[in-house]
Copies of this chain bind each other. A is one copy, B any other.
Amino acid sequence: AALKRTSLKIGMIPADGIGKEVLPAAQRVIEALGSAIPKPEFIPLAAGWEEFNKNGKALPDETVRVLKEECDAAMFGSVSSPSHKVPGYSSPIVALRKHLDLYANVRPVQSVSGTPGPDVNMVIVRENTECLYVKREEIKELPDGSKIAIAERQITSKASERIAKLAFELALRRGAERAAPGAPETFWKGPPQVTIVHKSNVLAVTDGLFRESARKVYEENKGRYSGVKVNEQLVDSFVYRAFREPEIFDVCVAPNLYGDIISVGEPVHGSAPDIEGKNIANPIASIRSAALLLSHLGYPEAANRINVAVDDVIRSGVATPDLGGKNSTTEVTEAILKRL
């Protein structure tokens, strides 16, 4: 299917803050790929906190419609949250995930060889439709005037099996890519591995179901996944070990909220109002997201070209201030374009 595509329609949702600076950088990189991919067409779409303040909706219906009916894929910049509860406002990201059933939030955390720091090459696979994100919350006042609030956390076998399947398939695919002749060396040396992240020592029922569902996917496809090592990690010790020895993880699959908290490498970042408009936001996460997008659509070579260029630029020392450099968003983007 990918090979027959004649055009590539990509919805672009810069949303708030530095999203408006880094998303155009990613667009420039995709445009520079030339004939490696079908001619891309970018469709600007509105969403976010600023949009809510202008037009009263954080996620306009038209944005959802265009994404559903016209786009092959989409890129999201970053979203600001109000610091207080604002009537009528709720996160457009969470709503988008719901509308488009974006059940898999795949977040690679990878270090670049030849740079300081630990050797990391893991992917967090975060279930993205349920858990506390179902947002079923209630509050009531008690007779003594104090308040009690309850939120529901939902875990289903279906959603858990679906995300586990994706994690196992991803582990296999990464394994195959590493084993391919001429594959670039990566930091992950062992066989494919899936780590199930949960807290079933406390949440025996809900996290118990998540864990069981993931194991079931493995057991029922033992032939296919025989080369994959399965293990598990309680979420609190996961964070500890991710600090101490991040190199022990390959693919890690987690329920929604744990997945949010543990994906601390943050391939996705916030809207960073403190540096907005200064042309110093790091565009690399967005540019690497473009690579992810292309790889997902069936253009792994194009994705590779982007990642190799980014790695090169990082090693060269051209960097925005967050990485200790002195360069602007534009300079980093152009350094990457030059190496494409």
* The residue from B81, B209, B262, B266 contacting A147, defined by CB atoms under 8 A apart: B209
Q: Is A69 interfacial (CB-CB < 8 Å)?
A: no
**Stretch of A171-179, A198-206, A294-302 lying at the B interface:** A198-206
Q: Is A155 interfacial (CB-CB < 8 Å)?
A: yes
* The residue from B146, B152, B202 contacting A133, defined by CB atoms under 8 A apart: B202
Nearest-Cβ distance from residue A165 to partner chain B, whole angstroms: 14
Q: Is A66 interfacial (CB-CB < 8 Å)?
A: no
Encoded as 1 (CB less than 8 Å from any B CB) or 0, chain A from 137 to 171 comes to 11100000011111111111110000000000000
Which residues from 252 to 291 on chain A have a C-beta closer than 8 Å to any C-beta of chain B? 257-258, 260-264, 266, 270
**Stretch of A7-15, A184-192, A234-242, A328-336 lying at the B interface:** A234-242
Copy number in this complex?
2
Within 8 Å CB of A156, what residues of B?
A: 146-149
Q: How large is the interface on A (under 10, 10 to 19, 20 to 34, 35 or more residues)?
A: 35 or more
A91 and B266 contact, CB distance less than 8 A? no
Q: How far is the CA of A328 from the CA of B107 in the complex (A)?
A: 40
Q: Given that A137-B205, A155-B149, A156-B148 are contacting pairs, would A260 and B236 also be in contact in the complex, using a CB cutoff of 8 Å?
A: yes
Nearest-Cβ distance from residue A46 to partner chain B, whole angstroms: 19
Q: How far is the CA of A138 from the CA of B152 in the complex (A)?
A: 11
Within 8 Å CB of A90, what residues of B?
A: 204
B209 and A139 contact, CB distance less than 8 A? yes
B137 and A206 contact, CB distance less than 8 A? yes
Nearest-Cβ distance from residue A242 to partner chain B, whole angstroms: 9
Within 8 Å CB of A264, what residues of B?
A: 236, 239-240, 243
* The residue from B81, B205, B270 contacting A149, defined by CB atoms under 8 A apart: B205
B209 and A236 contact, CB distance less than 8 A? no
A148 and B154 contact, CB distance less than 8 A? yes
Within 8 Å CB of A243, what residues of B?
A: 243, 264
Q: Is A132 interfacial (CB-CB < 8 Å)?
A: yes
* The residue from B153, B201, B266 contacting A151, defined by CB atoms under 8 A apart: B153
B151 and A206 contact, CB distance less than 8 A? yes
Q: Is A208 interfacial (CB-CB < 8 Å)?
A: yes
A: which residues have CB within 8 A of B? 81, 83, 85, 90-91, 94, 132-133, 135, 137-139, 146-158, 199-206, 208-209, 232, 234-237, 239-240, 243, 257-258, 260-264, 266, 270
